[in-house]
């Protein structure tokens, strides 16, 4: 019996450990992210203790459904993204090149989740799976707005033995927090959630010599 | 008695029907919202287009069918040019403004006949006038356009090394405070810039107040801190100023606005320079320096409405 209890505890600890694995989204891979507010942080940067502390803030139980707690609300951040594209000219004469840039809806609005909260949605609509989506929508500014921008083409002459790269930086807004699911007032699962909205994106063009 | 009852019931039903008809929003009216924007473009290819954002209150309408368009023209007070609408694209964006749902579409304007003629056309307070095959015409106020039709040519004296803009973040809609630019002088130090133009009559790069930079600066730095004094962003730019390109690898050139600060996210650079008194030109194609995502309400003062009434 004792062994069974220990095995169950071990299994429980394993499950809890795997809960705080945040599904990676593009914005989480930006080279550098700086919040205006020093206290703010991404969901993936929550320590286990911070996650547990946030869960403890959810005191009121529910008969059935999710209760959520907002930890970082409307936090403005700046980021340096990775290089959008590079055009090489390894030859000995100049080349004319057309650059087409488009910021897809994928980049403009992104979601992340951990634990028992999952990112789902049908087709192009991004949302959290299940009823927690409505709870989060009710708590933070959250829209699944799609932004398809104007067609953008840029023609550039690339010198011999140089490459041209375009890098992006920008600003966005983060909302994140945690949630607990109750079934007959018993907390059966929990997880973390995060929304990222890109507000402004800046482009910079740089030419460098190859090698 | 029975007749009275019947009359009352008929009157009640008739009255209710009238109320319902009056209360139901009319489907015979289409509202089209456009933005008063600044467009500055260098058109280098026949297939190049300009995308005009149009918010429309009805999706099931002939106004969104490019196949039903007869003629299209860009019209301003003193100039008019025939163009074509190569596509009308549904951006699948829905926004609410004052209780009405609007759907965002892009009207892609093409210039099939104007390419390689090497000239510039400026449209102040332009309207996009569209006439359909049923002879109905709508006029959309789209702002001011500057179009240069020219091929992009190689330059033996100058080459672009780096370029980005510095914006003012304290404004709801950020505006350009200046440009950071690095040009490679291939003539061993004899290139002098005498003019920099972004093709917009309301915004002028100010060579007189350009400052050399030792390192790259933040893309939304404080202008006063950067310049070292309170720079007047509104005013006129002195002609005849010169800037020796080789004096610095990196320059910050502030922008001065003629009368009001207006946002411009994409523009070309037309560089005029001289070498031993001989004047040359170097053009850089219009580059998207930044783009923002705002809801329609943020642009309230720049919104223009066109209403179409079905006959």
- Per-residue pLDDT tens for A58-68? 988 888 998 98
Residues B149-156, mean pLDDT to the nearest whole number: 89
Those residues whose C-beta lies under 8 Å from the C-beta of residue A41, and which sit 6 or more positions away, are: A35, A72
Residues A10, A26 contacting (CB under 8 angstroms): no
Shortest CB distance from A154 goes to which of B89, B108, B285? B285
- What are the structure tokens assigned to B279, written together? 């004047």
pLDDT confidence bin for B298, thresholds 50/70/90: confident
Supply the DSSP string of A30-62, one letter for each residue.
-SEEEESSTT---GGG--HHHHHHHHHT--S--
Residue of A160, A9, A171 lying closest to A79 (CA atoms): A171
Query: Which chain A residue's Cα is nearest to B153?
Result: A157
- Domain positions in chain A are 22-209
Domains of chain B: 29-151 (2.60.40), 158-288 (no CATH)
Tell me what pLDDT residue A169 has.
Answer: 87
Burial class (CB in 10 A: 0-12, 13-18, 19+), A72: buried
CB contact under 8 A, B292 and A169: no
Nearest chain A CA: its distance from B219 CA (Å) = 8
Tell me what pLDDT residue A2 has.
Answer: 53
- What are the structure tokens assigned to A124, written together? 């192009």
Nearest chain B CA: its distance from A29 CA (Å) = 21
Beta bridge mates, A204: A167
Tell me what pLDDT residue A14 has.
Answer: 37
Shortest CB distance from A200 goes to which of B174, B285, B288? B174
Provide the ipTM: 0.83
Q: Does B48 touch chain A (CB under 8 A)?
A: yes
The number of residues in chain B equals 311
pLDDT confidence bin for B116, thresholds 50/70/90: low
Tell me what pLDDT residue B266 has.
Answer: 94
Helix (H, G, I), strand (E, B) or coil at B174: coil
A146 contacts in chain B (CB < 8 Å): 91-93
Q: What is the number of H-type helices and E-type strands within chain B?
A: 2, 19
Number of Cβ pairs < 8 A linking chain A and chain B: 87
Residue A7 has pLDDT above 60, yes or no: no
pLDDT confidence bin for B83, thresholds 50/70/90: very high
Tell me what pLDDT residue B174 has.
Answer: 84
Query: Which chain A residue's Cα is nearest to B94?
Result: A145
Residues B158, B271 contacting (CB under 8 angstroms): yes
d(CA B25, CA A90): 63
Residues B233-261, mean pLDDT to the nearest whole number: 90
Tell me what pLDDT residue B297 has.
Answer: 80
Q: What is the pLDDT of residues A8-44, one digit of tens each?
A: 444 443 333 334 455 545 777 777 888 999 999 999 9
Those residues whose C-beta lies under 8 Å from the C-beta of residue A153, and which sit 6 or more positions away, are: A98, A99, A100, B48
Between the alpha carbon of residue B63 and those of residues A90, B100, B134, the distances in Å are 49, 18, 11
Q: Does A31 touch chain B (CB under 8 A)?
A: no
B167 contacts in chain A (CB < 8 Å): 202
Residues B111, B48 contacting (CB under 8 angstroms): yes
Mutating which of B283, B293, B296 best tests the A interface, going by the most A Cβ atoms within 10 A? B293
d(CA B143, CA B36): 4
B64-71: long-range pairs with CB below 8 Å, 24+? B64/B88, B64/B90, B64/B105, B68/B132, B68/B133, B68/B134, B69/B130, B69/B131, B69/B132, B69/B133, B70/B131, B70/B132, B70/B133, B70/B135, B71/B130, B71/B131
Least confident of A35-44, B2-11, B204-213, B258-267: B2-11
Q: What is the pLDDT of residues B264-286, one digit of tens each?
A: 999 999 999 999 999 999 999 99
Count of CB atoms within 10 A of residue B291's CB? 19
Average pLDDT, rounded, for chain A: 79
- Chain-centroid distance, C-alpha B249: 31
Shortest CB distance from A199 goes to which of B152, B219, B292? B292
Q: What is the pLDDT of residues A134-181, one digit of tens each?
A: 888 777 766 544 455 566 778 888 999 999 998 888 888 899 999 999
A157 contacts in chain B (CB < 8 Å): 152, 154-155, 159
Count of CB atoms within 10 A of residue B231's CB? 16
């Amino acid at each position: 019996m004792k062994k069974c209890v220990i095995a169950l505890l071990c299994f429980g600890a394993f499950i809890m450990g795997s809960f705080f694995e945040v599904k990676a989204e593009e914005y989480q891979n930006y080279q550098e992210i700086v919040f205006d507010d020093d206290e703010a942080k991404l969901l993936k940067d929550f320590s286990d203790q911070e996650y547990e502390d946030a869960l403890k803030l959810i005191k009121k139980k529910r008969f059935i459904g999710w209760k959520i707690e907002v930890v970082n609300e409307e936090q403005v951040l700046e980021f340096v993204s990775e290089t959008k594209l590079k055009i090489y000219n390894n030859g000995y004469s100049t080349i004319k090149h057309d650059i087409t840039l488009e910021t897809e809806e994928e980049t403009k609005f992104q979601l992340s989740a951990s634990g028992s909260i999952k990112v789902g949605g049908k087709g192009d609509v991004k949302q959290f799976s299940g009823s927690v989506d409505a709870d989060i929508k009710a708590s933070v500014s959250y829209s699944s707005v799609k932004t398809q921008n104007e067609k953008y083409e840029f023609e550039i002459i690339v010198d011999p033995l140089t490459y041209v790269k375009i890098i992006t930086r920008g600003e966005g807004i983060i909302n994140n927090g945690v949630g607990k699911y109750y079934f007959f007032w018993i907390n059966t699962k929990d997880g973390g959630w995060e929304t990222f909205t890109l507000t402004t994106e800046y482009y910079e063009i740089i030419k460098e010599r190859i090698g | 008695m029975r007749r009275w009852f019947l009359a009352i019931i008929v009157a009640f039903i008739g009255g209710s029907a009238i109320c319902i008809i009056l209360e139901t929003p009319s489907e015979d009216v289409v509202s089209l919202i456009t933005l008063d924007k600044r467009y500055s473009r260098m058109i280098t290819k026949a297939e190049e287009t300009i995308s005009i954002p149009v918010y429309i209150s009805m999706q099931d309408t002939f106004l969104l069918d490019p196949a039903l368009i007869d003629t299209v023209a860009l019209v301003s007070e003193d100039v008019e040019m025939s163009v074509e609408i190569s596509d009308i694209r549904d951006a699948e964006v829905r926004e609410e403004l004052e209780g009405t749902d609007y759907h965002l579409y892009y009207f892609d304007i093409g210039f099939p006949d104007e390419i390689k003629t090497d000239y510039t056309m400026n449209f102040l307070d332009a309207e996009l006038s569209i006439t359909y095959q049923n002879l109905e015409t709508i006029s959309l106020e789209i702002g001011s356009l500057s179009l240069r039709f020219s091929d992009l040519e190689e330059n033996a004296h100058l080459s672009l090394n780096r370029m980005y803009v510095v914006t003012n973040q304290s404004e709801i809609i950020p505006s350009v405070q200046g440009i950071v630019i690095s040009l490679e002088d291939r003539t061993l130090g004899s290139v002098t810039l005498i003019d920099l133009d972004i093709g917009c009559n309301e915004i002028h790069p100010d060579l007189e107040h350009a400052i050399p930079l030792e390192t790259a600066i933040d893309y939304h730095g404080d202008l006063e801190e950067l310049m070292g004094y309170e720079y007047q962003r509104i005013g006129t730019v002195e002609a005849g100023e010169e800037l020796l390109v080789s004096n610095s690898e990196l320059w910050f050139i502030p922008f001065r606005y003629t009368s009001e600060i207006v946002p411009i996210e994409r523009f070309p650079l037309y560089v005029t320079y001289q070498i031993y008194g001989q004047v040359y030109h170097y053009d850089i194609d219009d580059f998207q320096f930044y783009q923002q995502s705002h809801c329609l309400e943020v642009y309230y003062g720049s919104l223009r409405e066109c209403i179409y009434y079905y006959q």
